[in-house]
Amino acid sequence: MKPILLSGAGVLVRPAMARAARAVVCAGAVGVFAGGCGASAARVDGARAAGERFERALASGNHEAACRLLAPETSGQLEQDEGKTCREAVGAEELPMAGAVRTTEVYGRQAMLRLVGDTLFLSQFSGGWKVVAAGCTPQGEQQPYRCVLKGG
Protein backbone atom coordinates (compact mmCIF):
# COMPACT_ATOMS: atom_id res chain seq x y z
CA MET A 1 0.00 0.00 0.00
CA LYS A 2 1.66 3.21 -1.20
CA PRO A 3 1.12 6.55 0.57
CA ILE A 4 -0.28 9.29 -1.62
CA LEU A 5 0.70 12.85 -0.76
CA LEU A 6 -1.58 15.81 -0.30
CA SER A 7 0.48 18.80 -1.44
CA GLY A 8 0.26 22.58 -1.64
CA ALA A 9 -0.31 22.45 -5.41
CA GLY A 10 -3.64 20.80 -4.69
CA VAL A 11 -4.70 17.88 -2.62
CA LEU A 12 -3.14 14.85 -4.22
CA VAL A 13 -5.19 11.72 -3.70
CA ARG A 14 -5.60 9.06 -6.34
CA PRO A 15 -9.23 8.32 -7.32
CA ALA A 16 -8.56 4.62 -6.88
CA MET A 17 -7.44 5.24 -3.30
CA ALA A 18 -9.94 2.81 -1.82
CA ARG A 19 -8.56 0.01 -3.98
CA ALA A 20 -4.93 0.97 -4.38
CA ALA A 21 -3.96 2.69 -1.15
CA ARG A 22 -5.09 3.13 2.38
CA ALA A 23 -2.47 5.65 3.50
CA VAL A 24 -2.51 9.39 2.90
CA VAL A 25 -0.20 12.00 4.35
CA CYS A 26 -1.14 15.69 4.35
CA ALA A 27 1.71 18.04 3.49
CA GLY A 28 2.14 20.17 6.57
CA ALA A 29 -0.54 18.25 8.47
CA VAL A 30 -0.78 14.83 9.96
CA GLY A 31 -3.46 12.81 8.23
CA VAL A 32 -3.23 9.10 7.68
CA PHE A 33 -5.79 6.77 6.20
CA ALA A 34 -5.20 3.56 8.11
CA GLY A 35 -5.73 0.39 6.19
CA GLY A 36 -8.49 -2.00 5.52
CA CYS A 37 -10.67 -2.11 8.62
CA GLY A 38 -14.27 -1.06 8.17
CA ALA A 39 -15.43 2.00 10.06
CA SER A 40 -18.38 1.92 12.41
CA ALA A 41 -21.71 3.18 11.12
CA ALA A 42 -21.57 6.02 13.66
CA ARG A 43 -18.23 7.26 12.30
CA VAL A 44 -19.38 7.01 8.69
CA ASP A 45 -22.61 8.84 9.58
CA GLY A 46 -20.64 11.52 11.47
CA ALA A 47 -18.35 12.20 8.53
CA ARG A 48 -21.28 12.26 6.11
CA ALA A 49 -23.26 14.63 8.34
CA ALA A 50 -20.32 17.05 8.65
CA GLY A 51 -19.84 17.08 4.88
CA GLU A 52 -23.53 17.66 4.29
CA ARG A 53 -23.59 20.52 6.84
CA PHE A 54 -20.61 22.10 5.08
CA GLU A 55 -22.30 21.88 1.67
CA ARG A 56 -25.60 23.26 3.07
CA ALA A 57 -23.75 26.18 4.66
CA LEU A 58 -22.08 27.01 1.35
CA ALA A 59 -25.33 26.68 -0.61
CA SER A 60 -27.18 28.99 1.79
CA GLY A 61 -24.38 31.58 1.85
CA ASN A 62 -23.70 30.95 5.55
CA HIS A 63 -19.94 31.36 5.22
CA GLU A 64 -19.40 31.65 8.97
CA ALA A 65 -20.94 28.19 9.48
CA ALA A 66 -18.89 26.82 6.58
CA CYS A 67 -15.70 28.14 8.19
CA ARG A 68 -16.56 26.48 11.52
CA LEU A 69 -16.68 23.18 9.62
CA LEU A 70 -13.20 23.63 8.10
CA ALA A 71 -10.13 22.05 9.66
CA PRO A 72 -7.91 24.64 11.39
CA GLU A 73 -5.12 24.22 8.82
CA THR A 74 -7.57 24.66 5.97
CA SER A 75 -9.21 27.84 7.29
CA GLY A 76 -5.76 29.20 8.20
CA GLN A 77 -4.39 28.50 4.73
CA LEU A 78 -7.44 30.12 3.13
CA GLU A 79 -7.04 33.26 5.25
CA GLN A 80 -3.31 33.43 4.50
CA ASP A 81 -3.77 32.91 0.75
CA GLU A 82 -6.58 35.45 0.41
CA GLY A 83 -5.53 38.01 3.04
CA LYS A 84 -9.10 38.02 4.39
CA THR A 85 -11.05 36.41 7.18
CA CYS A 86 -12.24 32.89 6.46
CA ARG A 87 -15.84 34.09 6.23
CA GLU A 88 -14.91 36.66 3.58
CA ALA A 89 -12.55 34.36 1.70
CA VAL A 90 -14.70 31.22 1.52
CA GLY A 91 -17.43 33.17 -0.24
CA ALA A 92 -14.97 34.22 -2.93
CA GLU A 93 -13.78 30.66 -3.62
CA GLU A 94 -15.16 28.99 -6.74
CA LEU A 95 -16.48 25.90 -4.98
CA PRO A 96 -18.90 23.72 -6.91
CA MET A 97 -22.54 23.40 -5.91
CA ALA A 98 -22.72 19.82 -4.70
CA GLY A 99 -25.65 17.46 -4.68
CA ALA A 100 -26.38 14.37 -2.64
CA VAL A 101 -23.66 12.22 -1.08
CA ARG A 102 -22.96 9.22 -3.31
CA THR A 103 -20.38 7.45 -1.12
CA THR A 104 -18.64 7.94 2.20
CA GLU A 105 -15.36 6.16 2.92
CA VAL A 106 -13.79 6.35 6.37
CA TYR A 107 -10.28 5.11 7.15
CA GLY A 108 -9.01 5.75 10.65
CA ARG A 109 -9.56 9.44 11.37
CA GLN A 110 -9.86 10.40 7.68
CA ALA A 111 -12.84 10.36 5.34
CA MET A 112 -13.65 10.97 1.70
CA LEU A 113 -17.16 11.96 0.64
CA ARG A 114 -18.05 11.73 -3.01
CA LEU A 115 -21.03 13.93 -3.73
CA VAL A 116 -22.78 14.70 -6.97
CA GLY A 117 -20.55 17.50 -8.30
CA ASP A 118 -17.86 17.52 -5.59
CA THR A 119 -15.55 15.44 -3.43
CA LEU A 120 -14.66 16.40 0.15
CA PHE A 121 -11.85 15.14 2.36
CA LEU A 122 -12.38 15.29 6.12
CA SER A 123 -10.43 14.59 9.31
CA GLN A 124 -11.80 13.72 12.71
CA PHE A 125 -10.80 16.18 15.46
CA SER A 126 -11.70 16.20 19.15
CA GLY A 127 -14.62 18.49 18.27
CA GLY A 128 -15.86 16.28 15.43
CA TRP A 129 -15.32 15.90 11.70
CA LYS A 130 -13.86 18.89 9.82
CA VAL A 131 -13.36 19.50 6.10
CA VAL A 132 -9.69 19.36 5.10
CA ALA A 133 -10.25 19.85 1.35
CA ALA A 134 -13.24 20.79 -0.81
CA GLY A 135 -13.99 21.40 -4.45
CA CYS A 136 -11.94 18.33 -5.33
CA THR A 137 -12.10 16.75 -8.77
CA PRO A 138 -10.27 13.65 -9.99
CA GLN A 139 -7.68 14.21 -12.71
CA GLY A 140 -7.77 10.65 -14.04
CA GLU A 141 -7.34 7.13 -12.73
CA GLN A 142 -3.61 7.45 -12.04
CA GLN A 143 -3.64 11.17 -11.25
CA PRO A 144 -4.37 12.99 -7.98
CA TYR A 145 -7.42 15.00 -7.09
CA ARG A 146 -7.16 18.75 -7.61
CA CYS A 147 -8.89 20.76 -4.87
CA VAL A 148 -10.01 24.38 -4.85
CA LEU A 149 -9.85 24.63 -1.06
CA LYS A 150 -7.21 22.78 0.97
CA GLY A 151 -5.00 23.08 4.02
CA GLY A 152 -1.30 23.80 3.86
At 70 the pLDDT is: 98
Low-confidence ranges of the chain (pLDDT < 70): 1-39, 152
Yes or no: say if 56 and 115 are a contact pair by the CB < 8 Å rule. Answer: no
Q: Report DSSP letters for the chain, one per residue.
A: --EEEEBTTB----TTHHHH--EEEETTS---PPPSPPPPHHHHHHHHHHHHHHHHHHHHT-HHHHHHTB-HHHHHHHHHHHTS-HHHHHHHS------SEEEEEEETTEEEEEETTEEEEEEEETTEEEEEEEEEEE--TTS-EEEEEE--
Burial profile 69-94: b = 16 or more Cβ within 10 angstroms, e = fewer: bbbebbbebbbeeeeeebbebbeebe
pTM: predicted TM-score of the whole model, two decimal places: 0.74
What is the residue extent of each domain of the chain?
A: 3-150
At 79 the pLDDT is: 96
At 152 the pLDDT is: 64
Q: The domain 3-150 is classified under which CATH number: 2.60.40, 3.40.50, 1.10.287, 3.10.450?
A: 3.10.450
